[in-house]
Each structure stands twice: as C-alpha cells, then as structure tokens.
Amino acid sequence: MEIKITKTTSPKVKPKKGEKLGFGHIFTDHMFVMDYTEGQGWHDARIVPYGNIPLAPSAMVFHYGQEMFEGLKAYRGDDDKIYLFRPDMNAKRANNSNQRLCIPEIPEDIFVDAIKAVVDVDRDWVPSDEGTSLYIRPFVIATDEFLGVAPSKTYLFIIVLSPSGAYYESGLAPVGIWIEDEYVRAVRGGMGFAKTGGNYAASLIAQVKAHDSGYSQVLWLDGVERKYIEEVGAMNIMFKISGKVITPALNGSILPGITRNSIIHVCKEWGYEVEERKISVEELVAAAKDGSLEEVWGTGTAAVVSPVGKLRYMDDVMTIGDGGIGELTQKLYDELTGIQWGKREDPYGWRVEVK
C-alpha cells in the first residue's frame, strides 16, 4: 500500500519528561486517513497533520452510530526501539467488528502497516517515562450524507495517537468495582463482542452511578438473567478462586480482549488451571465470603493488568484479600509489561518492532 505523507509545518510542543500525561488527552502531530467508496474499495491512504475533519451534519455516523474502533499501544524500550503488542490481533478484531456493523473489511496487512507508518512518523512522541506509552486509536466512521437507516456506502478509516500514562488515576493501586444490577450493556446476538461506540454509550449511565458512589468502574452482568459475570467497562475480568484462574467465557456479548487472551496463555504456561466458563455473581459473593476468592484483576490495553481491591454487589461490599495487589496479579503485570516494553524475553513472539 502506498501512503502519501504530508508532514506538519507547525509541530506541537511535546509533553516533557516527567509530565503527567493522563489518558487520552494529548494528540500527536499526525494522523492516518484512508477513504472507502463503494465500487472503489479503500483508497487514498495518507498521513496528514492531526486536525479536524470536515463532515456533513447528515453524515450517517452521527445518526445511527455505524462505527468501529480499536485500541493498542506503542511502547518505547530501554533500547529506544518502538514496539507494538500483537497488532495482528487488533486487525482481526477490527474486521469482526466491521462485519457485525456492515462496515467493509480492512485487509489485515493494510491495517497493521497503517499503524506502523503513522507511529513511525510520530515516533518521537512515544513517551519514555515508566508506565507510559503511545495509545493508538484506529477507527472507522460512516460518512454518507443520508438519513435512511442502511449501511453507508462511504467511510473514513482514521488512526490518531495519544501519549498516555495509566488509564486509572490510581495507577496500579487497586480499584473498586461496582457490580451493576439495574442496567445491562449487551446481549448475545447484539454487538457486545464488537468494539463500537454504541456499547460504550450504553455503559455511561451506570458508570456515572458507580462514580457517584465512589467506584471507578462497572462490572456488567449478562443481559438476560442478570446473573452471570460479563466484563468491566474497559477491561475483561479474572478471578483467582482456590488457586484456579477463572474468567467468563467469550459468549458473544463480551469483548474478546487481546490482553485477556495473552494473560490466559501466560497463566497456562505457568501451570495454572484456567477455566473459561460462566460464573454467577452468587458464586463470586459466596467465594468472597468463604475466603476462597484470592485475587481479582482486570485486563485491557489501556488498563493493562489492573488489581481490583473491592467489589460491590447490592448490599455486599467485598474486600479482596487485604485490599492490596495480589501476588499473581503483580506477577502477571510484571510479565506482560516486561514483554511489552522489551524488558523481558518474549517467548510468544508477541512484540513487533516499528522500524
């Protein structure tokens, strides 16, 4: 694929070393853009200065939410090399989302090459402070000027980049999680497995409720029986119960996390028994009460491996272990981040250098 590159003539001031980045507030100098037109396919791949995009107010994405997005990171190693983590998995998941949303597929090699190209142009923006990275947000939006409910015939594929620190303000400190018993996020047959804005719009009301009660994230229950654990707003969830690692099975209504897949792999390599199955909230509360619930953590690109110190379900508030970071949680965090930042061996071949 040929990518036309137009560099900015007015580069922005980059965050200084040691400056607090937060998550998703700062954007780099450039972005990748590519058009889709029915009959022509994807065309005009280009890297241009980061900036606003002209869109008609009637553009379909504004009305019926036909869009998909992805999330991954670029990491700066001590050797100053820039690494991606399993970008091929994001390319595959993007197309699963695209398929569900009637958005044309993006060839996997083009998806990954586009990411590498724009990260390469903005490689000086990849931060170097401990725990920081360049968050990469590829997305596709429907752009037809049309108010009928139908798949658009034109789209834009864009990639923006954001130097970021920890997703949660608390960093690696354990988070408190609210198990939501009123609202649901997704149902099987819906689009819970796809990464698309509507799923996140549906989650906001419970997120606000949880925040107002002093919790940082929502843990969703299944949309039919409101009984089985699904996932958290921006991460998958895992439990260590009586020495076993247990996580909800991929059932169509939860996002197949790339971090989830990687952590399951590492746990199995380390000899842990891993069960991907239905887990009811009653089972969880019972395990918390009888002391067999040893650790809880979330997994996600933005959230990395995030310890959960407290869970609330209706009138039960459960403190996990001593409320601190569990031993396995810490080991998994160290292993995953070690591979991502190039500090550890990568026996799985997950790290991809941006050259």
Footprint on this chain of ligand PLP (rule: CB under 6 A) = 71, 231, 234-236, 255, 257-260, 299-301
DSSP tag of 167: S
Considering only the stretches 148-156, 284-292, 299-307, 329-337, report the one whose residues sit in contact with ligand COI under the rule CB under 6 A.
Answer: 299-307
Q: Are 234 and 217 in contact (CB under 8 A)?
A: yes
* Residue 192 found at the interface with ligand COI (CB under 6 A): no
Q: Please identify, using beta-carbon distances, which residue of 192 and 326 lies nearer to ligand PLP.
A: 192
* Residue 302 found at the interface with ligand COI (CB under 6 A): yes
**Contacts for 33 with CB less than 8 Å, ≥ 6 apart:** 44, 45, 46, 47, 48, 53, 156, 157, 158
Q: Please identify, using beta-carbon distances, which residue of 158 and 302 lies nearer to ligand COI.
A: 302
> Of these partners, ligand COI, ligand PLP, none, which one is at the site of residue 337 (CB under 5 to 8 Å by kind)?
none
- Residues in contact with ligand COI, total (CB under 6 A)? 5
* Residue 71 found at the interface with ligand COI (CB under 6 A): yes
- Report the nearest approach of ligand PLP to the CB of residue 203 (Å): 8
Considering only the stretches 115-123, 180-188, 300-308, 312-320, report the one whose residues sit in contact with ligand COI under the rule CB under 6 A.
Answer: 300-308
* Residue 301 found at the interface with ligand COI (CB under 6 A): yes
* Burial class of 344 by CB neighbour count within 10 A (0 to 12, 13 to 18, 19+): middle
* Residue 234 found at the interface with ligand COI (CB under 6 A): yes
**Tokens encoding 338:** 């070690």
Q: Are 69 and 200 in contact (CB under 8 A)?
A: no
Considering only the stretches 5-13, 269-277, 295-303, 306-314, report the one whose residues sit in contact with ligand COI under the rule CB under 6 A.
Answer: 295-303
- Separation of alpha carbons 96 and 92, rounded Å: 6
Q: Please identify, using beta-carbon distances, which residue of 71 and 321 lies nearer to ligand PLP.
A: 71
**Tokens encoding 354:** 């941006």
Q: Please identify, using beta-carbon distances, which residue of 255 and 293 lies nearer to ligand PLP.
A: 255
Q: Please identify, using beta-carbon distances, which residue of 318 and 341 lies nearer to ligand COI.
A: 341
* Distance from chain centroid for Cα 187: 19
Helices (H), the chain: 61-64, 87-100, 108-121, 197-212, 258-269, 281-290, 327-340
Q: Are 132 and 163 in contact (CB under 8 A)?
A: yes
> Of these partners, ligand PLP, ligand COI, none, which one is at the site of residue 164 (CB under 5 to 8 Å by kind)?
none
**Tokens encoding 284:** 């969880």
* Residue 216 found at the interface with ligand COI (CB under 6 A): no
H-run or E-run covering 275: strand 274-277
DSSP tag of 79: T
Give me the residues that bind ligand COI (CB under 6 A), please.
Answer: 71, 234, 300-302
